[in-house]
Structure 1
């Protein structure tokens, strides 16, 4: 069982319990600044605590500053106490029981509880308590975040009270209304309730034959179409339709119903109201009869008026037509009703349509209509309506009307209320964003969990080896020191490799790109790859003739190729064949879009195996850090993620093609380099660099004392004079003095107000030929000018071998001497 900081619990023996108590005490007084999880909890602005379920009463063992600010208690007043110290008489005991039950069952719970602060102030605390398990599935500790939701709760209470008052008022209005009110089942199959015996012929409730009872046959088809639309979209039902009146005659009703949803968003019934519009419909019919000759004239003159049947017939979509003077020459019932709904007045034939809009909207509408009268057919989205009534968003389409000679005599105006659609799109976007954030947090959790596991293993090997080295040296037993030293060095190298893989995945590693012949690189690695994969697997190399060079870091490409071959080997437990192939690829626009990369010329390096292959769900995740299908202990899950990051940082891409049982092909695409490749034999010939004999001086600037000590020792071994500085301010002070400085060795990330690059640039104002060697824990490319260094500057990535550092220092200083001789 891992404790914060990587410690393990034992099996419960007396000795183990003593050790457990000692470790717990150590946790309380140990600086957790190096614990990445504790650092994350400390840095966040959300109040958070960590509790230890293995101590009596589940005490708090870690708390961040935000929690202290929320509750008013200091760090020392919180540590060691159970969370219930925030509870009081006002805390609901049922809520407390729920929390205890969740902790006992080791499950996550989110709940609002009534708590009090140190000053006695009551507040609503939204608590999220979650168990944290180690890689073996054992409980490590409980993590709890807090959030003050007092204002939200009070606001919700106020809204609830206002809603009840509004419901009472609405009920009173409905009781005094002359409208017909009704309730329908969720599928509209049954009428659940009908009130008003003066208008309709029958007021019987709970009937499944309401259509035949209330609706004339000629209206039923249009009614059913609107019902189907409302059911499908779960939006408002709205229709003007014929209905049997109480006296047996047929009248007209304007009917509107809204869906009633439960907490899960499921429609449970429909609530509606209807108004008698018989007199209005009779007046409109008379008006339409007067304009029927004009309607026929328009219908005969343009094929576009095939849509005009929708104007005359009942339609859920508002449609109208207007002439060259912007006057209405026709409109359907939906248009008249919608205009009344959003503006509170009825339209009439012959009215100038734009003048019916409010002053701020009339010019917009006139401009739209003018474009149609000029012959343009188009669609726009706009918000129209009376701010005091309703102001929905409309999708409005226009098309001109022409006579037999092609002259424009008017235009169509077709409107569609898209408010619900826009609202749904906005809600969908918000949901998608929340999902993306949740996925990000899940990825961060996987990354930190896997990183902590791997680093704790490596640190255990390093610290254990150093401890045994110290013990053996104190005992005078030097025989095993070399073995422990080799173990510590091996673990440290694996830790360095792990950080390089992480940096490769995040595209922040330091690369040393060079023009590279990939055929030559693959041929040089063939023997090593064959030894690595073993004799049961054959290696076939297919190098394309006339292969293009590419600008890439050769060592990183070799590492990527070796990783791919190892993955291929692991997929062929019973042996098989690995084919390493190079090719020149031209990516046109279509191919580049399929591969998610810019179009152009690329060098392709492919590794194909005859192994088990991968299903699509595995292929979708193979580039995720720490994702692996191998058993625990047989893979870190960083191989392919490192290759992905390396390819991206090199300006290329990596793609996988695989079928279950058919094998896998992984292809790295690297941009073509238009230039020459350095001769391999010439690059290997390097002159031996002598020790310093001219009292050269090197300034070492690093905020880590151990690093400064090691570099200073290297310099003294080479015969150089070393000057040390712990931050950029002290380093710049030396550089701006008259002291001789032949080389500046500096970390990139420095305290003191400047980073290493800024300090070097400032120093070069007075010392324009100053040689600079940057050393960095990771590639701060932005600080280093995105990898583009000025002449006389170089970079070396931590951790580095001491011999590599010595060779780099000597080569930089000696190259400076050569340039001085030729200048």
Structure 2
């Protein structure tokens, strides 16, 4: 019996002196009556201080943790056990450490409690939480679309659309068809497979279907996230909305093409001027030849008229290229007539009737080339809206108001009209109802020019038969 008792005491002593575990003995008043050396080192008290019975669990418990400890003491009364629970402990020097506690009632006015110092773990958790909060704040502050993909990219686990793309309510396996433009899907998927195969960053610029149903552009970049074994467990990515930049680049490219075309047209017009003059002289000489049949003279007269029309268009082309950007006295009616002449081929092809309603020559201070661009844009749009055999009415009239004289120009077509839900968008840049045939810049440029001339532009339209059509009204100070 003595041997067994000695062996048990030795085992108990070894248990109590386990390096990582502090052991405390309390009485029912909460006074510390004994502790192992590990606990004494944890809290900084000496054994002599413990023996004075001046140290209690309340002495070592910060005020904000007293309630939690009292709840554990109540649990002890009901179940005979404490914890496990975590709290901060106040050391003798006033510093604090995080401890994990568990214990039980030993009977005979004694309670034992085991304590493990978990300060490093709590600090690591706090650091991790702070980093997670910062990352979450960074994600929320970013204007980029954020997404998470499965290792094989077959499932989109999450997407925050930022009003650019539709957000995912749950994991999405048809994301490629839902978000990527049909013509870009194969290209995007090939790039993804290349990133997966070579375990490299995925980045690509491609078209997407935006939340409002329109086509946009995005620059997408994703990185693989790995576990401790180096295996890819997820792809995390961000996608920037580059739609405005891409449209601006496309518009700039079109503008450059138009500028090049303008220079080419001016060069051609200049080169054909001399042959035109020679042909005019030859027709004149032939027309005045003696003994020429009357039928031949009539034909030569028609040829001369057509040649003069070609020369007129040539001079106009050169005039457009050489026009000044400085406001000057400009004839509104002449600009309207030249705009009609420019589009005469399209007008005749579609058998459109043009009704011009003005009486006198109307002159205002304006940049002629810019104003002609306004009239040509509106006339071209009206022609595009018409079926074969439609009608366009153009009115120009000078008025007098309390703020002075002004000119009102009206373009009225009998076309299909503009739906009410899109009328407020027609002056927005890059908005077009013509699909790939339109740049979406014509009416935007038109409004900019009208605003620059301190004027205004209004639109009214009707799409319900029997009367359909659209009217654009421009008002300019005279």
Higher relative contact order (CA 8 A, sep 6+): 2
Q: TM-score range by the shorter chain?
A: 0.3 to 0.5
- TM-score normalised per structure 1: 0.22
Structure with bigger gyration radius? 2
